[in-house]
Structure 1
Amino acid sequence: MHPAFSVVFFTTATGAGYGLLALLGVLGGLGFIQPDFWLGLAGMALALGLIAAGLLSSTGHLGRPERAWRAFSQWRSSWLSREGVASVATFIPAGLFGIGWVLLGSTGGWVAVAGLLAAVGAVVTVCATGMIYASLKPIAQWHSRYTLPAYLIFSGMTGSVLLNALLQGFAVGSTAMLAGALLATLAGWAWKLATWRYNDRLEIPTTANTATGLAGGTVRSIEWPHTEENYLLKEMGFRIARKHSAKLRRITQALAFAAPALLLAIAFALSWPFTAGVSVLATLLQFAGMLVERWLFFAEAKHTVTLYYGRE
């Protein structure tokens, strides 16, 4: 699939934003993170800012962005529409939680309820995003048991690393939060390795023979249906060299997982403000690494429509 940067940024930014929002809603609403105006303002602004930036970026991949609102009407059958509805609906409890936790400095009661609802909305939205890709049967690399959990794991991972950096920046970080961010990063790394292993061993049963129903011999295309590249090939026929894929996988592991995990481990032995600096650096590296990981997620996917153009 063609890895459009607008969609790559969308999945990375909203994943981190919803992960951070869910953690703030639960930990802040239940009083595990004490109310503080500037901390709360920075956290909510960062979470909602990432979400809004990602959603706006996603419209850049539409042929007619001004018609994006029409997608909301198909929520009964479309995961894309369900994602849009869930993303907008989540802003309501998130706004109420922000008012109570940030402006009023309250926890528990209706603030906790709003925070939990915001967290639920964030999880539902991330699930809908993951199902957009997991539900596509023509793309075997996505239509697997690894896709949806990956979206949830990566959202929790980037959200926890972001929250740790935020708390460390305000000198209210904790060993528990630091350990949680480290464990989430290691979990994301393990899941990504398992996904790559599955995809590399994947045997796609669909061939030109099965597509045409001609069992005897080998079916091949004599000539292309078009004389030049069209929309289908541009969007679904993207090809990446094996050597480039291997190199980008190493970059992904280094930036998104290995470097952040090492920095977070080092942070245990440091004192503030060095812990804050290391935590922020881990966040920046991980975000850059996840952009590469998302790019690969699209680039390595193969749509069966390319069989129509003589590609195996």
Structure 2
Amino acid sequence: MHPAFSVVFFTTATGAGYGLLALLGVLGGLGFIPADFWLGLAGMALALGLIVAGLLSSTGHLGRPERAWRAFSQWRSSWLSREGVASVATFIPAGLFGIGWVFFGKSGGWVAAAGLLAAAGAVVTVCTTGMIYASLKPIAQWHSRYTLPAYLIFAAMTGSVLANALLQSFSAGSSAILALALLATLAGWVWKLATWRYNDQLEIPTTANTATGLAGGTVRSIEWPHTEENYLLKEMGFRIARKHSAKLRWITQALAFVVPIVLLILAFMAPWPLASMASALAAVSQFAGMLVERWLFFAEAKHTVTLYYGRA
């Protein structure tokens, strides 16, 4: 698949934003994070800013972005439409929670209810995003049991690392949040390695024979159906060299997992403000690493339509 940066940024930014929003909604609403004006304002601005930036970025991949609103009407059959509906619906309790927690300085009661609803909406939206890809049967690397949990794990991972950086920057660091960020990053690393191992050993059952229904002999493409590259090849026939893929996997592991883990462990041991600096660097490194991971997620996927062009 062709890794358009708009979609790469969209999945990375919204995952981090919804992960942070879910944590703020639960912990802030229930009073585990103090209702401090500047802390709350910075946290909600960061979470909602990432979500909005990601959603706006996703429209850049559309042929007619001005018609994006039409996608909302297909919620009965389209995971993309369900994602749009869920993302907009989540803004309602998120806004109510932000007003009560940030501007009124309250927690519990209706603020807690709004925060929990915002967290639930964030989880549902991340699930719909994951299902956009997990539901695509022509792409075996996505149509697996690893895709949907990966979106949830990565949202929790990037959201908790951002939450830790936020709290540390306001001298309100919590060892529980720091431990959550560390454990979530370890979980994300393990899940990513398991996903790569599964995809590398994956045997795609569809062949040119099964696609055409010709069982006898070996079906081969004599010549391409087009004289020049078309939309299908640009979007679904992208190929990445094995050596480049291996190199980018190492970069992903270093930036998204190894460096953040080391920095989070340092934040455990270091006094403030060194802990704050380490936490902020961990968040920046992880976000950069997840951009590379998302690029690989698209680049390494193989669509069965390429069989029509004689590719194995």
How many angstroms does 1:115 deviate by?
0.1
Residue 193 of structure 2 corresponds to 193
Once residues 51 and 159 of structure 1 are traced to their aligned partners in structure 2, the CA distance between those partners, rounded to angstroms, is 12
Determine the structure 2 residue equivalent to 1:61: 61
Alignment pair present for 1:227 and 2:227:
yes
Secondary structure of 1:222's counterpart equals coil
Runs of 5+ consecutive residues of structure 1 not aligned to the other structure? none
Match of 1:123 in 2: 123
Distance 2:169 2:153 in 1: 24
TM-fit CA distance, 1:266: 1.3
Counterpart position of 1:18:
18
Shift of 1:225: 0.6
CA distance in 2, matches of 1:176, 1:271: 16
Match of 2:207 in 1: 207
Q: Per-residue CA shift, 1:26-65, capped at 9, x if unaligned?
A: 0000000010000000000000000000000000000000
Report how far residue 23 of structure 1 moved: 0.2
**Secondary structure at the residue paired with 1:140?**
coil
Matched, 1:151 2:158: no
- Aligned alpha-carbon RMSD (Å): 0.4
Instruction: For residue 204 of structure 2, give the secondary structure of its aligned residue in structure 1.
Output: coil
Residue equivalent to 2:307: 307
Residue 242 of structure 1 is matched in structure 2 by 242
TM-score by length of 2: 1.00
Q: Secondary structure at the match of 2:136?
A: coil
With the length of structure 1 as denominator, give the TM-score of the two structures: 1.00
1:162-210 C-alpha deviation (Å, 9 max, x unpaired)? 0000000000001111111000000000000000000000000000011
| 1:216 Cα deviation after fit | 1.5
Match of 1:277 in 2: 277
Paired residues for 1:60-139 under 5 Å: 60-139=60-139
- Number of residues paired by the alignment? 312
Q: Mind listing any 5+ residue stretches in structure 2 that lack a counterpart?
A: none
Paired with 1:263 and 1:91, the residues of 2 have a C-alpha distance of 33
**C-alpha separation between the residues in 2 aligned to 1:211 and 1:91?**
44
Alpha-carbon offset, residue 215 of structure 1: 1.4
Per-residue CA deviations over 1:203-258 (Å, capped at 9, x if unaligned) read 00000011111111111000101000000000000000000000000000000000
Q: Distance in 2 between matches of 1:277 and 1:226?
A: 54
1:87 counterpart letter in structure 2: S
Deviation at residue 94 of structure 1 after TM alignment = 0.2
SS in 2 for 1:49: helix
> How far apart are the structure 2 equivalents of 1:96 and 1:37?
15
Identity %: 87
Distance in 1 between the 2:311 and 2:221 partners?
Answer: 9
The residue type equivalent to 1:105 in the other structure is G
Q: Distance in 1 between matches of 2:201 and 2:180?
A: 32
Aligned to 2:63, the other structure's residue is in SS state coil
Is residue 264 of structure 1 aligned with residue 264 of structure 2?
A: yes
Partners of 2:2 and 2:146 in 1: how far apart?
21
CA distance in 1, matches of 2:206, 2:76: 29
Tell me, in whole angstroms, the C-alpha distance in 2 between the residues paired with 1:43 and 1:200: 39
Equivalents in 2 of 1:86, 1:175: separation in Å? 32
